[in-house]
Amino acid sequence: MDFFLTLVQVLDSTIRLATPLLLACLAGLYSERAGIFDIGLEGKMLMAAFFSAAVAAVTGSVWLGLLAGIAASLVLSALHGFASITFRGNQLISGVAINFLASGMTVLIAQSWFKQGGRTPSLFGEGRFESAEFPYAIGPEDAELTGRPVSELMSETNALHLAYSELLSGHSILVYVAFLMVPLTWWILFRTRFGLRLRAVGENPAAVDTAGVSVVGLRYAAVAICGVLCGIAGAYLATALQAGFVKEMTAGRGFIALAALIFAKWRPWHAMWACLLFGLLQAVALRFQNIDLGGVVIPVQVMDALPYILTVVILAGFVGKAIPPRAGGEPYVKER
Amino acid sequence: MEKMPKWADVVLIPIISLLLATILSAIVILAIGEDPIEAVNLMVTGALGSTYGWGYTLYYATNFIFTGLAVAVAFHARLFNIGGEGQAMLGGLGVAIVCLSVPWPHWTIALLAACAASMIFGAAWAAIPAYLQAKRGSHIVITTIMFNFIAAAFLNYMLVNVMRPQGSQDPATARFPEAVHLPTFQSMFSTAENVMFRGAPANISFFVAILACFVVWALIWRTRLGYEIRAYGHSETGAVYAGISPVRITVIAMLISGALAGLMAINNVMGEAERLVLNATEGAGFIGIAVALMGRSHPFGVFLAAILFGFLYQGGAELALWTSIPRELIVVIQALVILFTGALDNMVRIPLEKLFMALRKGSA
Amino acid sequence: EPALIFDLGGKFDKSFNEAAHNGASRWAEETGGSYREIEMQSEAQREQALRRFAEAGSNPIITMGFGMADPLSAVASDYPDTTFVVVDVTWLDAPNVRQVGFAEHEGSYLVGMMAAMASKSGTVGFIGGMDVPLIRHFGCGYAQGAKAVNPDINVVANMTGTTPAAWNDPVKGSELTKAQISQGADVVYAAAGGTGVGVLQTAADEGILSIGVDSNQNHLHPGKVLTSMLKRVDVAVYDAMSAGDDVETGVFTMGLAEDGVGVSMDENNAELVSDDMKAAVDKARQDIIDGNVSVVSYYENDSCPALQF
Amino acid sequence: MTVPAIELKGISKAFGPVQANKDISISVAPGTIHGIIGENGAGKSTLMSILYGFYKADKGEIWINGQKTDIPDSQAAIASGIGMVFQHFKLVENFTVLENIVLGAEDGGLLAPSLAKARKELKALEEEYELFVDPDKRIDEIGVGMQQRVEILKALYRKAEILILDEPTGVLTPAEADQLFRILDRLRSEGKTIIVITHKLREIMENTDTVSVMRRGEMTATVKTADTNPQELAELMVGRKVLLQVDKVPAQPGKPVLEIENLSVTDSAGVERVKGIDLSVRAGEIVGIAGVAGNGQSELLEVLGGMRPGQGSIKLNGERLAMHGPGSDGQARRAQGVAHVPEDRQREGLIMDFYAWENVAFGYHRDPAYKRGLFMDNAALRADTEAKIEKFDVRPPNGWLTAKSFSGGNQQKIVVAREIERNPDLLLVGQPTRGVDIGAIEFIHKQIVALRDQGKAILLVSVELEEIFSLSDRIAVMFDGHIMGERLPAETDEKELGLLMAGVAGEAA
Ligand SMILES: Nc1ncnc2c1ncn2[C@@H]1O[C@H](COP(=O)(O)OP(=O)(O)OP(=O)(O)O)[C@@H](O)[C@H]1O
Ligand SMILES: Nc1ncnc2c1ncn2[C@@H]1O[C@H](COP(=O)(O)OP(=O)(O)OP(=O)(O)O)[C@@H](O)[C@H]1O
Ligand SMILES: [Mg+2]
Ligand SMILES: [Mg+2]
């Protein structure tokens, strides 16, 4: 039971850590499947995190915050599209610039609006995403009723109920959105006209062009979806996981999401597993610091690096070659 | 026949792009309620108006030249080395070990040894991702990102638990002995009556960086290895046809790239801090990506882009010293410069090409 | 005109640098004086900022953090007429430097005691930012305090990461807190800069107690933050600025006796602190000041008797 | 007089400083096949791309069925009933045939109904025009012939009344080409209008009703096919007299240079592509390997050229060559005296972004002749390039142009010059004249024969039976990784070879 409890808790942590990665990873998937490489996921998330928290703080409504976050991320997406689709610029450079821009702008604006050192005021009540409680799940209400902490109640119930209460129930709505996006993305990509065209434009834009479909339009659409998802990811960080924006709070998650995307070879279900794997590795590393192996204490640095080491090992051992969408990174040029 | 003269492509477009970036930056400065003219003035005089300012500008530029060249060399083999940061950290470790463990008689020998050590350490850190890419197809972008994190953890462990002098509260190595201190610009260029570059950290490493530019240029465009690297970068199938081993080129290009990134340590660790501190690289590995992209992977372009970023760093520092403009403004300006000169250059090029075509038609 | 040089974290780090900022602002408000300031963004700037301010005639020049020790030792002798103040550095040999150190372990000891007394589960947590000696120093005092109250107490100590991002990753702070809660911790002490925001938030959300650091953070979640370990950097800065040109040089350690460190008691945590707790803390405070109790500093021999890192 | 199906009036188009089309007018009657010929880079593809809305003309008008029509993009072209099969197919390689066909012509937001409908209609089209394809195969799993059928089906599925084909037979075997023209004939008989670009005069003569000749961006002539002959067309195209037949003396074979025994090759996917073949080539002899693309010829060349490992024995001048590990790569082969004109000049033979002079060293860049101290001797290389450009009449004669700015024919001349001028013992040649205009074909053929006459061994792989016949001294036919038989050109004919190529074994070789 104790082991099971620990396992469930680690998995619960995995889900929370994986959610922003998953959203960003799916965002990148749309963009890169359409042939637009995006290393600016990090910047878009950060911008969205700030604007969602800022608007939620000012209006007191987390939903307005979410919209603001998405809008902010969309603006950066439009910039990326402008540079890499309309003006056929270098997609990597544009992504790098967007990351810098977000990193600087968030703090600059935060400072001039709130004067709290690049931070937004803390969110409370309606300004934050509450976690959803499923029927029959153990949650804070039960704790209040019985006057005992949730963790105690959890440790007393049976395994199924425990897993149900911890893993399925008790997450913010954005978590469910993120995981529902996986089948949805799969369905859009492989079952709809839009998906067919999207994948085609990432493989061979000339084929799409000569088939009478606008390459530019499709790519902008993909980049816009990417913006929306990054927006949700950022809002999740600042308004669901946390209660406000702190500078650089994305802490490299956009890059990890990018790694997960390559890991998943640009496929939605694999993306989910990759993000869960990254989440799990991090959760494990956080949970089991300073492990004592018969007198030898593993230094915290080893545990800290472990997710990254394991990623490399798994990548080298099991994943093999990842072939990106063929037209990825190349601007579509008819006439030179 | 070209669409427009080469000088326009090489000189005019970057200048117009920079101008656009400057104008937008000015608007941002206005928006936060400061005076843009004053700000630009401060930045330019602070970074370029004195030998002192140059001393800082060139110090930063030296870092960026090394990491920019590192990224550029890998780019020529169509490898995206995001791992410059980690490789530079390891280079620092190499320099620290060399400087602390041997009683060097003179800085010249120490510098040679430090160069070798930093290059070996940097290359070693690039070797595993390189090997995995070449042999297992593990995507170099992921592995180098991961290796940055691993390097940070490793360095943290070394500085906190191994190399920190007993009782020191600072997670850093001991100071390097006097004998290995590199000559700074101050000591090189000052005369008795005229002190130049006073206190600035620019040091002899800058000339090593310039040398590295020439070496990389010669390597890429003048040697057979460089020819193979470029050929492989343009076409893998072509390389196989020509008997160029993709595995070999991938590994060699990454080793060179890692060595160059590692070499940065002679500047920041040996030349400036004179000891190894946590976070000594300060993101120079990532700036190197922007520098290489903006410099179009050409050593001369890298050099210019590095100077530009050095200017932004030093100008930004001066701005922060004398005004209340938040330091993040500099990050925004950097973003705008990267955006306009790097990603939106076609926005300038397309109308300019039309203009030149029209001029040519008009004169013909 | 005095000058203030913040450390890399920036002046709004909600703890260390911000305390300095508060001290300076208080001085400016009270006296109507003005001062120069700069936030470091790179290692090379440390020396640059020192020299530039010294050349511009600023005096005293107040600098924050152990990272300034090295540059200061190189610069101070070049400007004998300028007085420098450095916080968190006590080992330099320079006549024109005022070195202010804090006995963080003593303050941490007191909050450790409070944590142990407030804990029902017998497990308390510590969350540090990066694994550096200073943070171990905090954790070590905390563990000693907790063990003084309850020798069997279990102290769970975690560090957030190894890159500078570790100071600004509230999400990771949250997860660490949750991990510690699941290990039974019901009081956590955060010494992790911006990451601590996530720790305090999650502790409040999950219904356990947290302990803030450096500045008084009790107000962040009233009724949920047990106390804050105060490190009166603001006082040090305020004093130095007030003294102006005549600021005294030498090494000054601000411990409990000097009110340099302490625990924060205000209306936000009044309900959480029982009279017993208050009494015990006051007694321990006096004992430490009197030398009856000695708190071991991690720096003494790079190890901690009460906690393994 | 009927209204023309297509009328172009005064079309001009410039790519930057290059005037690709100059004031071109042309008119095509409905229900006819119209041929367009011209040298590489004459502007044929550009003109057709304008008609299809892929490029926008700078000037000029397009009239379809007597109506002035604006064609700003391909969608408009499709709406006007125009379909185009591009020289480089516009297919998504990892999509299925069916997906490629519906792409852009879907019926609704969901894919399944569109695919179902397309599957049905495809069946009907297939039967009507004998255009058989497997709708569920992925494009990268099927041969070029099938890919082309997919392109035609794409156009027909979109109800094209006017069909443009840009060099459709460049990559087809003779049998496939014949079948294509049968299909085109059938389309014509249904009243559809067809424009075909080709470099092969025979195809023009046999299949078209009218023909236009383009040269340097201009339309030089449009004639009724019945009123002209190949010689005249060739002259109109190139502006000089062209020898349409290879002129060579009988071979005088010497000792064996290349001896292959029991050679097998497995590709990276683990499929055995060459299955234990024996073959020899003697000095002063051209051995041609005929076969439908994809029957192991490419892999055979690649093993010999050091591009992939193999099993069995290869001897060169009596000495065994390594087939994997050291001594088996392209560098080693070149040192051993093997030169290689690869099948795909753009993907293999050249680095498209390198200057011509850099490409002249490609594969030979480690030659001591190009070395000076630590560096490459670029001056020597450039001098060498100038000589080669001059000798092989590469146009424009400028070594400082990147490979991609030369036309296909001139790119091929650079590759051939580089390999032949090495004076190798054994020359491997893959598809030497694919997509190359007749002027260049004539020249390249002459060079290959000249090398043979110097007593060198040459192994030629080509899917052009005509080329195989006119160059080879001995012909081997490959099918499914086996050599089906060897023939002397004088003692066989296209029919017999065709059967062998289809895997129908003749009498033992
Ligand atoms: N996309 C393009 N961008 C710039 N210039 C082009 C482009 N396509 C063609 N050109 C130029 O236009 C000219 C005509 O090219 P086009 O492709 O129409 O020739 P072609 O007659 O089809 O040749 P080929 O027989 O090799 O297919 C070329 O010489 C080339 O310089
Ligand atoms: N982007 C371009 N810039 C300049 N010239 C071009 C470009 N694209 C094609 N061309 C030129 O257009 C002409 C024909 O183009 P096309 O793509 O039809 O040639 P190709 O396929 O290389 O030749 P071939 O059909 O003989 O194999 C060539 O002269 C080629 O060099
Ligand atoms: Mg063509
Ligand atoms: Mg062609």
Q: How far apart are the first and last CA of chain B?
A: 14
Task: Give the pLDDT confidence score for residue D112 in this predicted structure.
Answer: 93
* pLDDT, average across residues A2-27: 91
pLDDT tier at D506, thresholds 50, 70, 90: low
Is residue A300 within 8 angstroms of chain C, CB to CB? yes
- Residue D232 CA from chain centroid, whole number: 24
pTM for the full predicted model: 0.89
pLDDT tier at D240, thresholds 50, 70, 90: confident
Strand partners of residue D479: D482
CB contact set of A315 (below 8 Å; sequence gap of 6+): A263, B132, B136, B138, B139, B142, B143
- DSSP type of residue C215: S
Is omega for the bond preceding D396 within 30 degrees of 0, making it cis?
Answer: yes
pLDDT digits (tens, 9 = 90+) for A182-223: 999 999 999 999 999 999 999 999 999 999 999 999 999 999
Strand partners of residue A297: A292
Task: Give the pLDDT confidence score for residue D508 in this predicted structure.
Answer: 42
State phi, psi for D239 to the nearest 5 degrees.
85, 10
Phi-psi region of C223 (alpha: psi -120 to 50; beta: other; left: phi over 0): left
In this structure, the number of other CB atoms found within 10 A of the CB of residue A274 comes to 27
CA–centroid distance, residue B230 to ligand 3 (Å): 28
* pLDDT, average across residues B200-221: 96
CA–centroid distance, residue D436 to ligand 4 (Å): 7
Q: Is the dihedral of CA B50, B53, B55, B57 positive or negative?
A: negative
CA–CA dist D505, A73 (Å, integer): 66
pLDDT digits (tens, 9 = 90+) for B265-281: 999 999 988 999 888 88
In this structure, the number of other CB atoms found within 10 A of the CB of residue A152 comes to 13
Residues from chain D contacting residue A196 (CB–CB below 8 Å): 95, 99, 102-103, 106, 111
Q: What residue ranges define each of the domains in chain A, with the CATH number in brackets?
A: 2-133+170-315 (1.10.3470)
Domain ranges of chain B: 60-308
Tell me if D450 is assigned to some domain. yes
pLDDT digits (tens, 9 = 90+) for D8-50: 999 999 887 788 999 999 999 999 999 999 887 889 999 999 9
Residue whose structure tokens are 């979806």: A225
% of chain B at pLDDT higher than 90: 65
A335 CB less than 6 Å from ligand 1?
Answer: yes
CA–CA dist A149, B94 (Å, integer): 52
Q: Of the candidates C7, C202, C231, which has an alpha carbon nearest to the alpha carbon of residue C141? A: C231
CA–CA dist D494, D509 (Å, integer): 17
Full 3-state SS string of chain A? CHHHHHHHHHHHHHHHHHHHHHHHHHHHHHHHHCCCCCCCHHHHHHHHHHHHHHHHHHHCCHHHHHHHHHHHHHHHHHHHHHHHHHCCCCHHHHHHHHHHHHHHHHHHHHHHHHCCCCCCCCCCHHHCCCECCCCCCCCHHHHHHHCCCHHHHHHHCCHHHHHHHHHHCCCEHHHHHHHHHHHHHHHHHHHEHHHHHHHHHHHCHHHHHHCCCCHHHHHHHHHHHHHHHHHHHHHHHHHHHCCCCCCCCCCCHHHHHHHHHHHCCCCHHHHHHHHHHHHHHHHHHHHCCCCEECCEECCHHHHHHHHHHHHHHHHHHHHCCCCCCCCCCCCCCCCC
Question: Are C187 and C193 spatial neighbours (Cβ–Cβ below 8 Å)?
Answer: no
Considering the segment(s) B60-308 as one domain, its CATH architecture is: Orthogonal Bundle (1.10)
Statement to judge: residues D442 and D486 lie in one domain: yes
Question: Are C234 and C54 spatial neighbours (Cβ–Cβ below 8 Å)?
Answer: no
Statement to judge: residues D285 and D178 lie in one domain: no
Tell me if D270 is assigned to some domain. yes
pLDDT tier at C150, thresholds 50, 70, 90: very high
* CA of D405, closest atom in ligand 2: 31
In this structure, the number of other CB atoms found within 10 A of the CB of residue D240 comes to 8
Task: Give the pLDDT confidence score for residue B326 in this predicted structure.
Answer: 81
Structure tokens belonging to residue C95: 């006549």
Residue whose structure tokens are 């933050």: C225
* Yes or no, beta carbons of A100 and B154 under 8 Å apart: no
Smallest Cβ–Cβ distance between D363 and the set B2, B235, B241 belongs to B241
What residue owns the CA closest to ligand 2's atom 28?
Answer: D407
How many angstroms separate the most distant Cα atoms in chain A? 73
Question: Are B342 and B105 spatial neighbours (Cβ–Cβ below 8 Å)?
Answer: no
CB contact set of C72 (below 8 Å; sequence gap of 6+): C50, C63, C84, C86, C89, C92, C94, C97
CA–CA dist A33, A30 (Å, integer): 5
pLDDT tier at C92, thresholds 50, 70, 90: confident
Tell me if D509 is assigned to some domain. no
Host domain of residue D199: 6-238
CB contact set of D289 (below 8 Å; sequence gap of 6+): D297, D300, D459, D460, D461, D462, D468, D475, D476, D477, D478
Statement to judge: residues D217 and D187 lie in one domain: yes
Task: Give the pLDDT confidence score for residue A149 in this predicted structure.
Answer: 67
Q: What is the SS3 assignment for C306?
A: coil
Last residue of a domain, one of D238, D272, D293: D238
Task: Give the pLDDT confidence score for residue C4 in this predicted structure.
Answer: 93
pLDDT for residue B253 is more than 50: yes
Pocket of ligand 2 (CB under 6 A): A 336; D 40-41, 45, 87, 405-409, 435-436
Q: In what order do the strands lie in the sheet with D311-316?
A: D272-282, D256-266, D311-316, D319-320
pLDDT digits (tens, 9 = 90+) for D291-312: 887 789 999 999 999 999 999 9
* Yes or no, beta carbons of B223 and D376 under 8 Å apart: yes
Q: How many CA atoms, within 13 angstroms, populate the side-chain half-sphere of residue B84? A: 34
Strand partners of residue D162: D82, D193
pLDDT tier at A286, thresholds 50, 70, 90: confident
Statement to judge: residues D15 and D41 lie in one domain: yes
Q: Of the candidates A312, A291, C162, which has an alpha carbon nearest to the alpha carbon of residue B153? A: C162
Residue whose structure tokens are 């009279």: C275
- Number of structural domains (chain D) is 2
Question: Are A64 and A225 spatial neighbours (Cβ–Cβ below 8 Å)?
Answer: no
- DSSP type of residue D226: G
Question: Are D76 and D158 spatial neighbours (Cβ–Cβ below 8 Å)?
Answer: no
Residue D43 CA: distances (Å) to CA of A274, D19, D219, D277, D436: 50, 9, 9, 44, 14
- DSSP type of residue B184: B
CA–CA dist A181, B90 (Å, integer): 40
Q: Which of A56-65, A263-272, D400-409 has the lowest mean pLDDT?
A: D400-409
Structure tokens belonging to residue A60: 């007191």
Residues from chain C contacting residue A149 (CB–CB below 8 Å): 186, 207-208
Residue D205 CA: distances (Å) to CA of D4, D169, D433, D466: 22, 14, 20, 15
pLDDT tier at A157, thresholds 50, 70, 90: confident
pLDDT for residue A277 is more than 90: yes
Helix (H) or strand (E) holding C251, with range, is: strand C250-254
Q: Of the candidates A180, A154, A174, A175, which has an alpha carbon nearest to the alpha carbon of residue A165? A: A154
Torsion of CA B292, B295, B301, B305, to 10 degrees: -80
Residues from chain A contacting residue B309 (CB–CB below 8 Å): none
Q: Of the candidates C278, D45, C65, D480, which has an alpha carbon nearest to the alpha carbon of residue B169? A: C65
> The domain spanning residue D121 has which CATH number?
3.40.50.300
CA–CA dist C189, C118 (Å, integer): 12
Q: How far is C248 from chain B (nearest CA, A)?
A: 24
Residue A235 CA: distances (Å) to CA of A49, A68, A171, A250: 5, 9, 14, 11
- Residue C193 CA from chain centroid, whole number: 10
CA–centroid distance, residue C119 to ligand 2 (Å): 78
CA–CA dist C132, A272 (Å, integer): 35
Window 89-148 of B, Cβ < 8 Å to A: 128-129, 132, 136-139, 141-143, 145-147
CA–CA dist C274, D70 (Å, integer): 86
Question: Are D169 and D152 spatial neighbours (Cβ–Cβ below 8 Å)?
Answer: no
CB contact set of D369 (below 8 Å; sequence gap of 6+): D377, D380, D384
Task: Give the pLDDT confidence score for residue D505 in this predicted structure.
Answer: 66
Question: Are B267 and B310 spatial neighbours (Cβ–Cβ below 8 Å)?
Answer: no
Is omega for the bond preceding C60 within 30 degrees of 0, making it cis?
Answer: yes
* Yes or no, beta carbons of C132 and B171 under 8 Å apart: yes
Helix (H) or strand (E) holding C253, with range, is: strand C250-254
In this structure, the number of other CB atoms found within 10 A of the CB of residue A154 comes to 19
CA–CA dist A180, A166 (Å, integer): 18
Statement to judge: residues D228 and D332 lie in one domain: no
Task: Give the pLDDT confidence score for residue B364 in this predicted structure.
Answer: 60
Torsion of CA A214, A219, A220, A223, to 10 degrees: 170
Window 64-123 of C, Cβ < 8 Å to B: 66-67, 69-70, 75, 78, 88
pLDDT digits (tens, 9 = 90+) for B153-206: 999 999 988 998 887 778 889 999 999 999 999 888 888 888 888 888 999 999
Alpha helix ranges (H) inside D190-296: 201-207, 230-238
Statement to judge: residues D222 and D260 lie in one domain: no
Residues from chain A contacting residue D17 (CB–CB below 8 Å): none
Question: Are D204 and D35 spatial neighbours (Cβ–Cβ below 8 Å)?
Answer: yes
Structure tokens belonging to residue C131: 């694994």
Write b or e for each residue in C110-142: b if 16 or more Cβ atoms lie within 10 A of its Cβ, otherwise e. Answer: bbbbbbbbbbebebbbbbbbbbbbbbbbbbbbb
